Amino acid sequence: MQTAEIQRRWLDFFEKRGHTVVPSASLVSDDPSLMFTVAGMVPFVPYLSGLVPAPYDRATSVQKCIRTNDIEEVGKTPRHGTFFQMAGNFSFGDYFKEGAIGFAWELLTTSEEEGGLGFDPNDLWVTVYEDDDEAFELWQRLSTLPDERIQRLGKDTNYWSTGQPGPAGPCSEIFYDMGPEYGIDGGPATDDDRYVEIWNLVFMQYQVADVKSKTEFTILGELPKKNIDTGLGLERVAFIKQGVDNMYEIDQVRPVLDRAAELAGKTYGASHEDDVRLRVIADHVRSGLMLLADGVTPSNEGRGYILRRLLRRVVRSMRLLGFEGPSFAELFPVSRDAMKSAYPAVERDFDFISRAAYAEERTFLRTLASGSQILDAAVDAAKGAGTSVPGDTAFLLHDTYGFPIELTLEVAEEAGIGVDREVFRSLMQEQRDRAKADAKAKKGQRADLSVYKELRGLGETSFLGYDQLEAESRVLGIVVDGVPVQEAHEGQIAELVLAETALFAEGGGQDSDQGTIVGDGFTAEVLDVQKPVPGLIVHTVKVTLGTIGLDQRAETRVDHDYRRGANQAHSATHVVHAALRQVLGSNAHQAGSYNKAGYMRLDFTHSDALSTETKSEIEEISNLAIRSDLEVVTREMALDDAKALGAMALFGEKYGERVRVVDIGGEWSRELCAGTHVGSSSEVGMISLISESSVGSTNRRVESLVGFEAFRNFAAERAIVQQLASGLKVPRSELVSKVQDLGGQLRAAEKRIAALEAERLGQRVPELVAGAERIGAFSVVSSSLGSVGSADDIRGLVIKVRERLGAEPGVVVLAGEAGGKPVVIAATTAAGRESGAKAGQLVRVAAQVLGGGGGGKDDLAQGGGTDPAKIGEALAEIRRTLAG
């Protein structure tokens, strides 16, 4: 049974039993405490917790999920994957234990011919919470399981909670017995891999507090509305139904594994090490495909860093299999074809997906080449000294260059040396500790969303700001310092929840409105407007006059000038996006934006920097669209209807069943957008591109001033041009050539100065050679040159002095200050190296004193630091080293 067929049967089964089929949410979670959607219940948390009223009594979904906390286990166990699909059925105060258990047993054991999953009841085991007699008795009554295959287990395995005060409850897990050849008898209680958990039924029935750990908490009582949350692992059911041993061999994953094995010339099943690498490749390619399809792009932070890590682990694994060239163009199309029947978007958006993936692979292959040079130098130095590759070098390669530690170990092993893994592990742990501390600090800064639970229960905030800039309303809630209060007094910062508002809450790239909220005897300045939970608009205000009380009349007033500027900027974002696609092609998708009055920023998918001519063309097309006075039309319609019209849905954005479509000039620009806009393109006024830059290997960013801010920018530039033309005494038309002439003169002067400086330093060669001192077996020249033009000047002088030392064991160490930083360069003669002097080691000695680093080969090396005042001390340390 194919994985997509299991998904279809699941949704069909529960839809026929009154469940609303909810499409999978994005892998990018709405929950600010989560980077990704990590479980099938995540999109339903607001309903399960009571924070937001559920729009249906019962629901079902097959949710895309990403978890990377066990990434090192991928490929080593039968069921550890970074991407997986969680099938779930949910009840919000409707059916409870009996319904959940009945549905589960019916779907699992109904024959395939009758639309079920066709499991043999003799292969199934069940666990329940040790004190949950009700669940035990229901399994006895609703299933054919004998009592010995219904096992009672403790809180650590069969009790669910979020780890925070709130809803919790016992759970019941369903296991499949793989058979005696896979492990010992005794059922799930043995915790043996023979028994595969396929379905977890959570009975959310209690309110808990004083949560100290997973097993230590206080039950306050039963919830007023009991909920059901279940999760079935689609991949686990698939590998059982397809008769294979693990999730890497199912229909959606195995094709990538086979193609990777073919490319590397390997046979799957012949080597445990190779098998693990092939599984990692198959899993991570699929995860990368699905993350890219949901708009995540590789970067050095957040979600983008996780994606980058997954893709680079694929490259690493292919190299360890012996395949060193680019492989993504072979692997990603295979994964696309395996996943497209379940997720058509991976085929529809594959052009974007593939370009982003292939660009990341090219970048990493170049990174590996750079890292190899550093590693080769470190290996040579360690081999010559009879030591290991320093742990800090291995960490530098890993952290800065993305060079996997496994490759560092492999290269070192080939050279017959080791790597100081203890130091490497220590530095890695320090990095993890910093990351955890940072994450904990950020988590502590987030407001407790439960404070909005009752407020959201009063209904959805009506946004009236599309049609009016002032709106009468009343105060439904006041929150100060995270606590609901009855009043907010003059001088306080408070959060206000109103029944209606004309003020736009930040979203879709558009910053929140500026304005005021006024009422009988009070005035409040609006500082921010946000949607902390779906459907609830919260105004952060500073009370500037009087006292605000609950249920008081309040009027929201939008700053007209600010909204006009915000409308211009948001419409300008759409105009520039359309111009980009006209110039660069339809592959240039928006990948993020931010706009506020007078300014817009747009990220888009493109690998190469834009030429000056291209930027000018985009700016011209944008302003021509403004001059053409194109009509701007906004309509609300069903999401499917909007897509049928060709409205562009942007990567990373989430849409409900009803959406707003914004047309500028009809089909010229047609996008889904909930922001505010001008009535016609001429109202934008003017667009002035001020910046174009890279925001990753596959994304570029343009920034623009809009409207009156664009005019001000042009006026400022005109004033600068006039000042330069006046100061240089040339007409404006000749200004560029005049500046170019001056630049050429300046460069020529700098070259003459550098030549004179080199000549001056060269004249010091006899003096330096004459000042050589005998230290141990070496003739040593060491001196501080003071301020120099560049490190190249010192290097040239060092080589000339070394040539004059002849055949004797000689060492030359010269230092100076270049650009405000200390530079030290060492060189050794052939006889000096035979006597044990190594230039790379000597500059590292000096660099430690100077507060920096350095390295190089035995004959010539360079180091530096931060404190020029310590140059004399650094040279003295080198002399002490040679004497020793």
pLDDT for 445 equals 40
Domains in the chain, number: 5
Q: What is the CATH number of the domain that holds 586?
A: 3.30.980.10
Same domain assignment for residues 135 and 235? yes
d(CA 479, CA 493): 9
Same domain assignment for residues 93 and 8? yes
pLDDT for 446 equals 40
Residue keyed to tokens 């010992």? 184
- 175 membership: H or E segment, kind and range: strand 166-177
d(CA 192, CA 183): 7
Q: Do the domain assignments include residue 722? A: no
- Name the residue type at position 712: R
Question: DSSP string spanning 844-875?
Answer: HHHHHHHTS-EEE-SSEEEEE-S-GGGHHHHH
Intervals of the chain under pLDDT 50:
439, 442-447
Task: Please classify residue 167 by burial: count the beta carbons closer than 10 Å to its beta carbon, then call 0-12 exposed, 13-18 middle and 19+ buried.
Answer: buried
> Contact 793/758 with Cβ under 8 angstroms?
yes
Question: DSSP string spanning 382-431?
Answer: HHHHT-PBPHHHHHHHHHTT---HHHHHHHHHHTT--B-HHHHHHHHHHH
Give the pLDDT confidence of 152-207 residue by residue, as tens digits.
Answer: 999 989 999 877 788 899 999 999 999 999 999 999 999 888 999 999 999 999 98
CB-based contacts of 666, cutoff 8 Å, min separation 6? 631
d(CA 64, CA 627): 45
Q: Do the domain assignments include residue 853? A: yes
Same domain assignment for residues 179 and 44? yes
> Contact 142/201 with Cβ under 8 angstroms?
no
Same domain assignment for residues 531 and 628? no
Q: What is the CATH number of the domain that holds 497?
A: 2.40.30.130
Tell me the residue range of the domain where 55 lies.
3-249
Q: Give the side-chain half-sphere CA count within 13 A for 68.
A: 21
- Biggest alpha carbon distance in the chain? 102
Tokens representing 516 are 């005021």
Binding residue ranges for Zn(2+): 570, 574, 673, 677
Same domain assignment for residues 511 and 581? no
d(CA 97, CA 87): 18
Residue keyed to tokens 């006075």? 629
Q: Do the domain assignments include residue 430? A: yes
* Cα–chain center distance at 750: 45
pLDDT for 653 equals 60
Same domain assignment for residues 235 and 312? no
- Residue 84: phi, psi to the nearest 5? -150, 165
Q: What is the CATH number of the domain that holds 829?
A: 3.10.310.40
> Contact 845/882 with Cβ under 8 angstroms?
no
- 573 membership: H or E segment, kind and range: helix 560-584
Q: Of 538, 558, 578, at which residue does a domain stop?
A: 558
Question: How long is the chain?
Answer: 884
Binding residue ranges: 570, 574, 673, 677
pLDDT for 441 equals 52
Q: Do the domain assignments include residue 856? A: yes
Count each helix (H run) and each strand (E run) in the chain, helices first: 26, 33
- Residue 729: phi, psi to the nearest 5? 60, 50
pLDDT for 759 equals 75
pLDDT for 203 equals 96
pLDDT for 433 equals 72
Beta bridge partners of 701: 603, 693
Q: Do the domain assignments include residue 175? A: yes
